[in-house]
Amino acid sequence: MHFMFSVIFVLAFSAAAWALDNGLMRTPPMGWLAWERFRCDIDCLNDPDNCISEHLFMEMADRLSEDGWRELGYVYINIDDCWSSMLRDSQGRLQADPKRFPRGIAHLAQYVHDRGLKLGIYGDMGTHTCGGYPGTTLDKIQTDAQTFADWGIDMLKLDGCYSNSSYQEQGYPMMSKALNATGRPIGYSCSWPAYQGGLPPKVNYTLLGQICNLWRNYDDIQDSWDSVLSIVDWFFDNQDVLQPAAGPGHYWIIY
């Protein structure tokens, strides 16, 4: 099998006095994220081994659990964009694409958990995801948080396409509260700073550390070393500003 391991780079430094108090991710989380390698490939008819489907994530769960990655601390299997149906169900809940995830996300979560791993999922604080799938509007935040909890999700990456600054300012803190209210421990990764330029004063890192476990500051990583190096250079150039915001339970991340 052709396999490319997508590395999540986490850069964490000294702890700040404030932090999201959900007890999660006291050390930087490590695992595998689909986006950099598999993007939004949904053509399972012609590309069954690489399309976004339960088969792909089960295979990656097998690789992490059987090939020694889990023992090294790589425990997260993270679904990114393009996993859902284009329509919510009759009760207004997100649902997985029935052809590519025929047994649903809860079944996939159980498969991942049975192998000593954790499952992450993707959402978007806006009308649509970046790939054009249903987003999480303000009126759907509690519904989506509870849906993820009911499925057994362990981490949420919340993107920010198809929204604006005002919407994000309301929505990202609301989702933090909604996830905590479910009673399930769900790590919260916010893409909010990347849509605000990544740096103070536009980005309020005091607030961010109180509501998010992880956050993205800069561009998405692409499938090239030029992309990787450009992101690393940006963090290097801005490390003195970014460093004070990071610590146990709240980190900046490249993905």
Residues with a known catalytic role: 159, 220
Give CA–CA dist 78/146, Å, rounded.
18
For residue 231 the two structure tokens come to 């992101």
Distances, alpha carbon 229 to alpha carbons 143, 167, 222, in Å:
39, 32, 11
Closest CA to 156 of 118, 130, 126: 118
